[in-house]
Structure 1
Amino acid sequence: MASHPDSQARASTISTGRWIAAARALETSRSDRLFNDPWAGDLAGDSGKAMLDAADYNPFLPVRTRYFDEQIIDTTGQDCQIVLLGAGLDTRAFRLPLAASCTVFEIDYAEAFAQKESVLRTISPACERRCVPADLSGPWMPALLEAGFDRSTPTVWVAEGLFFYLADSAVESLLRDTASLSAGGSIFLADVFGTGLLALESMAPLVKARTESGRALPFCTDTPDALFRAGGWTNTKLVQPGHPTANFGRLSWAPGVSGAEEQTNLRTYLVTAGL
């Protein structure tokens, strides 16, 4: 019997989380590491490490994580709220120097928390941490509110590596819903890929499989600023990986580069949007 598309999506999401955790473990092992995640190796497990070994390593991954780490630290203070959308095996509630009065909400499938809690159950987070089992493509807001989310407190929403795995409609709804829940001064952090990514040869098997199964293609856009404005988020700032503020000595940066990297539809954007 074929598995249900929803179960396939959940399994894929959990596998991706282990792969990303393996990348964080690899970064942590470096003497010049951009961040320290001492639990990443256990969270990745053998399967995550095997996936990382089988793939070409992407130096963008640690840069993205460090960039969002800095944005979170720079924009949070006392009594802050942080919501990790599609949290996966993220450990920011444990490894970032957050105020004890800060609350981190982690939203993801219940299955994603099962493995995570088995590794972290004896570790104390730096602040209040609340797990919110929910499907971001469905009605997730009631679960967040029930967990104690305060609509009057400015919030940092973080969607690291999430949008690519959602359908267009789910991304658009997510932006509208988060804006509707947010107090003034809230910000939304996300990374977005240009549409040219789907035309790359390496993406052909995925595009073919999605097309043949009738599933939506991974989310990409060449106009992230318009996307966020339509969702109610203004004051959008876009930074490309490799820019001096998103480099950390790992990625090359040359304004006006020639060739494929100059094409808008092949760009990657690190987005910071406010209300």
Structure 2
Amino acid sequence: MEVFDDARARAAVVGTGRWIAAARALETARPDRLFSDPWAELLAGESGKAALEAADYNPFLPVRTRYFDDRIMEAARPDSQLVLLGAGLDTRAFRLPLPDSCTVFEIDHAEAFPDKESILGTTRARCERRCVHADLTGPWTEALLDAGFNRRAPTIWVAEGLFFYLTASDAESVVHDAAALSAGRSTFLADIFGTGLLTLEGMAPLVAARSSAGRPLPFCTDSPEALFQAGGWRNAVVVQAGQPAANFGRLTRPPEARDAGQQSNLRTHLVTATL
């Protein structure tokens, strides 16, 4: 997903999806892998592999994926439905042992799906899978309902890598709209960066470009609990990447613990909100 509705921005997000898929492929090739995604290499393509090679590898990416995988399976029940917000090249409908009765809804721009569907071909998902073409920065709930979303069934909402591509108002709307659609026992999973990310040297060009153009900055917050509580979620539990529940031997300490001079607003929040 992207903050601005234009072809170049959407193409950039599709490219990011290929980079993330390349990271999943790299993890899958490890003997000590945290998960297996046999489709990731094809989905990444040469452009995704090149992007991963050109950037500093981020060990947080497989940790985030595994952390959400575990939370999804803990929440999954025979009557559950799973909604992947800004699904991109996500393959959870194919690789997670979800209940046969579960329905997976993948929401993203129409541009996100053609290559993915072509590569997956006749591969069968483990359960019912439905693609929903919608922009999460605008009205999207009707498209989800039209695809057969059941408002009476408990839902697992997953926003992996999404919130950074939203404005603050869009993030608030997504959280609120998901709560309004949800039945009891529903869960919302998300990763959200602290505001310190925007102060890093590598973010300076983006911050300067957005500011000079009068465009909003990517959404970050140091109070994710408040975001979800204001949006209608009864409880929000936050784990920091690197804490014991979210390291898997890859991130042994939260980022701020590596340098006493760093501030807590550099944290990456892994949120599990419930109704």
CA distance in 2, matches of 1:261, 1:66: 29
In the alignment of these two chains, the number of paired residues is 272
Q: CA deviation at 1:260?
A: 5.3
1:68 corresponds in structure 2 to 68
Question: Residue 84 of structure 2: SS of its match in structure 1?
Answer: strand
Amino acid at match of 1:205: P
Query: Where does residue 268 of structure 2 map in the other structure?
Result: 268
Query: Which residue of 1 is the match for residue 100 of structure 2?
Result: 100
Name 1:126's counterpart in structure 2.
126
Instruction: Provide Cα deviations, 1:233-271, integer angstroms capped at 9, x if missing partner.
Output: 121100011111111111112798363575221111100
Distance in 2 of aligned mates of 1:260 and 1:150: 48
Q: Normalization by structure 2: what TM-score?
A: 0.95
- 2: CA distance between counterparts of 1:38 and 1:256? 34
Which residue does 1:115 correspond to in 2? 115
* Structure 2 unaligned regions, length at least 5: none
Change (3 A) 1:144 1:272: same
Give the match for residue 38 of structure 2.
38
SS at match of 2:257: coil
Unaligned runs of 5+ in 1: none
Question: How many Å separate the matches in 1 of 2:12 and 2:65?
Answer: 21
1:83 maps onto 2:83 in alignment? yes
Runs ≥4 residues deviating over 6 A: none
2:253 counterpart residue number: 253
SS for the counterpart of 1:220 is coil
The answer (yes or no) to whether the contact 1:154–1:182 under 8 Å persists in 2 is yes
Distance (Å, rounded) in 2 between the aligned partners of 1:26 and 1:210: 32
Distance in structure 1 (CA, Å) of the matches to 2:252 and 2:180: 38
Letter in 2 for 1:135: D
- Aligned-pair identity (%): 68
When residues 139 and 256 of structure 1 are mapped into structure 2, their CA distance, relative to the original with a 3 A threshold, is closer
For 1:159, the aligned partner's letter is: A
Q: Answer with 247-256 or 42-51: which moved more.
A: 247-256
Cα separation, 1, equivalents of 2:261 and 2:23: 24
Q: Helix, strand or coil: the match of 1:257?
A: helix
Superposed, 1:166-245 pairs within 5 Å as 166-245=166-245
Classify the secondary structure of the residue corresponding to 1:179. helix
